[in-house]
Structure 1
Amino acid sequence: MNSYTINSRLLTTYSAEENPLHFDKTKNYLFDLSYLSALNVQGDKASDFLQGQLSCEMQDLSDIHMVHGAQCNLKGRILALLDVVKWNGIQLILPRDLLEATQNSLMKTALLSRVTLTENSSFKIFGFYLQNPQDIKPHSSFFPEAIQGQTYNEQGCYYHLGQNFYILLLKSDYVEPVVSIFKTQQQLFGSLTWHSLRLMQGQIEIYPESRGLFLPHRLGLHDTSYISFNKGCYKGQEIIARMHYKSTLKHELKLFEIETDGPLFSGQKVFNAEKNSEIGELVDYTPLDQQRFLVAVSILKEIEELNHVVWSEKLE
């Protein structure tokens, strides 16, 4: 197994042949997402507690429908992006390197709500890319077609991210039988390839380095179910609502392919080389080839190409 670092997050590949641009479209693939973890939220008022902490509508959560949410600070800036799953309590699925900070910030008010937050290590997290219903699959006869649809059985819980990408929460006893099927067929890949595939779909991630940097509107999340404008008060809501209803949005999230031998990092400023003016910030990235990268940039709407730009050398 090899590794690659995005900011400070270690992602993996199982072989040098892993390339999301050259997938066999007749095959399904399993991805080891060991960089993800889960916070278990328990208590009679767990849902009410999260309703006041996250940007999503918790009333949409059920045992057949998961929700995406953001935890923001009082300035409306994103601290973490989470998948919220109702299964054996409420599970918050998020990167492991954000778990402790997220747990600590939520604990400040959780005690008042008689809610407990503990890391859940009773299952392993995998990604699954379903391209061919006739090819090998985890031991399940049903994968929800509805986006954010969720199902579960004795092995674990599965939910649909869209575009036939699924997250699998597999109980520890069932991990080896499922993994061995895909490993034998050389259809088990690492988390870097998953990250690349998801970024190609416009799905960015928050890192310890970008925690508290970006407003949801700078990432296009106001047009998704991550943000509800119909719910009651939650942390950061006032700023987010003001941006939505009273501001003219100048930036949007765009994907570009670039070639560079310089460092890349989330929060990196992008400047117009001719005018020496800032035009955007790097949000996320992934390698495509030697010195070639796919980057997600929150950038001025009128910018169509990254020509004649300068990247800052350190986080300012």
Structure 2
Amino acid sequence: MNHEWKQFLESVGARVDDGVARFDGAPCDESGLLCDLSHLGLIRVGGEDATGFLQGQFTNDVTRVDEQHAQLSSYCTPKGRMLANFRLFRLGTDYLLQLPRSTHARVLKRLPMFVLMSKVEIRDASDELASIGLIGEAARTALEAEFPRLPESPDEALNEKAMSLIRMPGSGGRFLLSGPVPALTGVWNRAVAAGARPGNAVCWALHEIRAGIPWVDEKTIEAFVPQMLNLQLINGVSFKKGCYTGQEVVARMKYLGKLKRRMYLARVESDTPPRAGDALFSSTSSSGQGAGRVVNAERSPQGGYELLAVAEIAAREGDGLHLWESDGPRLEFMPLPYPFEEA
């Protein structure tokens, strides 16, 4: 975490532990919310060959990312298994990858291994810049005072005053803002003056879950191919861009294979928090290793936990799915905000 940003957050009432800001009694509603996103790492990629280099590494079409458009994408092994996924956007002439800290270090170490003779520069930008999430009308009011216009559709972006503003999917009017600390402190103070309240990282994570946006965790590295996490449904995969690491497996799943597992939105009542990678079970499962896995989970303000989980389609349509063991807490499924048909 940037030291100046840490000092600012502490000055407005946050407790900062292990690079994560926490506000006591913080809400998770949509009326007006500010979330520090220092739990997400940033990787900066620049140089005259950056676009071509990244195009050969990631599942989505990097050539479509510019100052007006961000995208979700993922980084796979040659076997098509996801090492990480991230949000990719431009800030000035460089690309930025924003992803959980739990996978950030692995990508930062692995990506430069393939640069070879390309004119590409890769570095950690996590302590160089700051990022905040803004939700609701009060936050929107602050942004309208700062920017000449606001992006209105998901993944639409705006570069202004050395900051990148991205409209996020989901309800409540969500925005992601990244940039230098002095600029972000000004937006933060303006949003608070408009009525927004500081929230915690878990609130932002809960809104990501409700929007059906998955994040690979250290416990789920290489556990999924992109289609299992619905990336083809949320514009996280391009099937027209050409070759990239793992492309053959991902394309085969689309054109020749039959998807047996996909991601669902659910809630569960439990005294024990579900964690990424926790197993799901069903009496109709065709696998001895369980019927699926938890992808992400957070406590719900209404009680219990809300989660994204990859599960066997047949088991989901069968007699129910349970957490941890066949007679464990039963999952109650909820509709995702997007259809299972490909966009």
Tell whether the structures are fold-level matches, with TM greater than 0.5: yes
Residue 98 (structure 1) aligned with residue 92 (structure 2): no
Cα gap change, 1:177 to 1:86, in 2 (>3 Å)? closer
Unpaired runs of at least 5, structure 2: 1-13, 327-343
Cα gap change, 1:74 to 1:149, in 2 (>3 Å)? same
**CA–CA distance in 2 between the matches of 1:96 and 1:152?**
24
> Out of 162, 166, 174, which is 2:175 matched to?
166
Aligned ranges for residues 228-267 of structure 1 at < 5 Å? 228-262=238-272, 264-267=274-277
Residue 309 (structure 1) aligned with residue 315 (structure 2): no
**Identical-residue share of aligned pairs (%):** 21
**CA–CA distance in 1 between the matches of 2:321 and 2:72?**
36
Residue identity in the other structure for 2:131: I
Aligned ranges for residues 101-250 of structure 1 at < 5 Å? 101-120=106-125, 121-131=127-137, 135-137=141-143, 139-163=146-170, 164-183=173-192, 185=195, 187-250=197-260
Unpaired runs of at least 5, structure 1: none
**CA–CA distance in 1 between the matches of 2:20 and 2:181?**
21
Residue 288 (structure 1) aligned with residue 308 (structure 2): no
CA contact (8 A) 2:72 2:85 kept: yes
- CA offsets per residue over residues 166-194 of structure 1, 9 Å max, x none? 21013122232222334454512121101
Q: TM-score, normalised by structure 1?
A: 0.86
Moved more, 282-291 or 250-259: 282-291
Residue identity in the other structure for 1:67: Q
- CA offsets per residue over residues 28-59 of structure 1, 9 Å max, x none? 32211111121111111100000000000112
CA contact (8 A) 2:274 2:305 kept: no
**Which residue number corresponds to residue 51 of structure 2?**
47
**CA–CA distance in 2 between the matches of 1:59 and 1:176?**
32
- CA offsets per residue over residues 125-183 of structure 1, 9 Å max, x none? 11112446874436223211132111122151111123432210131222322223344
Residue identity in the other structure for 1:250: K
Aligned ranges for residues 269-288 of structure 1 at < 5 Å? 269-272=279-282, 278-288=290-300
**CA–CA distance in 2 between the matches of 1:135 and 1:114?**
41
Write 1 or 2 for the structure with the bigger share of strand: 1
Q: TM-score, normalised by structure 2?
A: 0.80
CA contact (8 A) 2:284 2:319 kept: no
* CA RMSD across the alignment: 2.8
Cα gap change, 1:158 to 1:202, in 2 (>3 Å)? same
> Out of 80, 85, 89, which is 1:76 matched to?
80
Cα gap change, 1:282 to 1:11, in 2 (>3 Å)? farther
> Size of the alignment, in residue pairs?
304
CA contact (8 A) 1:274 1:308 kept: no
**Which residue number corresponds to residue 335 of structure 2?**
none
Secondary structure of 1:147's match?
A: coil
